[in-house]
Amino acid sequence: MSTREQQVLDRIDRARRSRARVKDELITMAHGAGGKATHTLIEAIFLEAFRNPLLEPLDDQAVFAVTAPRLAFTTDSYVVSPLFFPGGDIGDLAVNGTVNDLAMSGARPLYLSAAFILEEGFPVADLTRITRSMARAAATAGVQIVTGDTKVVERGKADGCYINTAGVGALEHPFTLGAAQARPGDAVLVSGPIGDHGTTIMLARGELGIESDVVSDTAPLGGLVATLLAAADGVRCLRDATRGGVATILNEVARASDVAIVIDETAIPVRPEVRGAAEILGIDPLYVACEGRMVVVVDGAQADTALTALRSHPLGDQAAIIGRIAVDPPGLVLLRTEFGGTRIVDVLIGDPLPRIC
């Protein structure tokens, strides 16, 4: 072998062992084909952002030991549009949403998986931005992303980037929390102002010509839940008020527990910006999604204890008691309006369609 040939082979060998770098600006079908481009993408983008000892071997699965007597397990897919919005992006959302679903059982979130469906032509820079915010959100929530998957579909077959995350969490306490646990006399609380996320997304789509300072409330609620459960052992149910908002959660609890829920409109925290946008669009903030707020049902005797605990945490400093569980009429949510009247708060049919006049 000539010296020249040896030099070239050495250079190739060095290149093979050097740190992977994605040189393409756009995702191509090759990135999903399982070959060199896929590996480069995984190493340069995903491993770079999420790096941890369980992910590092890049095996087909992550293997870990657990000591908790019970595990919580959940999955959720994220298809938000636009992908980037004031206060967050699809990356934060994909981590926080799944972390929160775990936290609502009282579990301590441990590990997540992350599966990406990318549209051909999606900017690599956007993917990098999304994975970095996922990594930040995971660090904040105290979880690790330990396994994943990537698929690329032809242009037009998806809207940029979809993410699925699944997660496991450790249940280290004996409580059974759930929508069917509410009893007459219990108190209903929310952990903060409602409707921020949904309003942000509606305005960020730019179709309405309304400008506002409202930002998404996306946040991991594991810490807030731990604080609450440490203070109050009479917690019956925790639910994060995502799609369908607080109204939908309350209806689920009323039906599952066969109780009435009576809430007071004047007690429900809503930011003025959110209320203003809702007034203009003719929608009710009770139905607008949150991504960092939860509904708490707690033994009535512990309502103030729970409120104090929530307010001691930065994510719950504007928590409020908004209503009570009653006996009759079972399965219904009733509202005392700010005007002093009463009405039923029903589940929503379809999307909230803005009224025209």
Q: What part of residues 314-343 is at the interface with other proteins (CB under 8 A)?
A: 323-324, 326, 328-329, 332, 334-343
Residue with smaller CB distance to other proteins, 89 or 284 = 284
Radius of gyration of the chain (CA): 23
CA–CA distance, 79 with 207 (Å, rounded to integer): 19
Least spacing, CB of residue 282 vs other proteins, in Å: 7
User: Residue 38: how many CB atoms within 10 A of its CB?
Assistant: 16
Residue with smaller CB distance to other proteins, 293 or 324 = 324
Residue with smaller CB distance to other proteins, 24 or 279 = 279
Position 353 contacts other proteins (CB under 8 A): yes
Residue with smaller CB distance to other proteins, 60 or 207 = 207
The side-by-side arrangement of strands in the sheet containing 333-336 is 235-240, 294-298, 187-190, 320-326, 260-264, 333-336, 342-344
Residue with smaller CB distance to other proteins, 103 or 277 = 277
CB 263 within 8 A of CB 345: yes
Contact code string over 268-307 relative to other proteins, x by CB under 8 A: ----x--xx--x--x-x-----------------------
Least spacing, CB of residue 284 vs other proteins, in Å: 8
Residue with smaller CB distance to other proteins, 61 or 337 = 337
Sequence-ordered strand ranges (E) for the chain:
70-78, 84-85, 88-89, 108-119, 144-153, 161-171, 187-190, 235-240, 260-264, 294-298, 320-326, 333-336, 342-344
Least spacing, CB of residue 213 vs other proteins, in Å: 15
Residue with smaller CB distance to other proteins, 23 or 339 = 339
Tell how far CA 166 is from the center of its chain: 11
Position 356 contacts other proteins (CB under 8 A): yes
Least spacing, CB of residue 197 vs other proteins, in Å: 20
Least spacing, CB of residue 290 vs other proteins, in Å: 20
Least spacing, CB of residue 261 vs other proteins, in Å: 9
* Amino acid identity, position 215: V
In 3D space, the residue among 227, 205, 206, 194 whose CA is nearest the CA of residue 293 turns out to be 194
Q: What part of residues 177-216 is at the interface with other proteins (CB under 8 A)?
A: 207-208
Where do the H-state alpha helices sit in the chain? 3-17, 36-41, 48-50, 90-103, 124-141, 196-204, 222-231, 245-257, 272-281, 303-311
Q: How many residues bind other proteins (CB under 8 A)?
A: 37
Residue with smaller CB distance to other proteins, 317 or 346 = 346
Instruction: Record the tokens describing residue 351, joined without a space.
Output: 């999307």
| Residue 272 preceded by cis peptide, ω within 30 | no
Least spacing, CB of residue 208 vs other proteins, in Å: 6
Cα-based distances in Å from 283 to 213, 261, 334: 19, 21, 18
Q: Among 264, 295, 307, 319, indicate the residue that binds other proteins (CB under 8 A).
A: 264
Where do the H-state alpha helices sit in 42-192? 48-50, 90-103, 124-141
Position 262 contacts other proteins (CB under 8 A): yes
Least spacing, CB of residue 86 vs other proteins, in Å: 20
Least spacing, CB of residue 233 vs other proteins, in Å: 24
Position 243 contacts other proteins (CB under 8 A): no
Q: Which residues contact 174 (CB under 8 A, 6 or more apart)?
A: none
Position 156 contacts other proteins (CB under 8 A): no
Residue with smaller CB distance to other proteins, 117 or 260 = 260
Residue with smaller CB distance to other proteins, 158 or 208 = 208
Instruction: Record the tokens describing residue 84, joined without a space.
Output: 């980037």
In 3D space, the residue among 27, 20, 31 whose CA is nearest the CA of residue 127 turns out to be 27
Which residues contact other proteins by CB under 8 A? 207-208, 260, 262, 264, 272, 275-276, 279, 282, 284, 323-324, 326, 328-329, 332, 334-344, 346, 349-351, 353-357
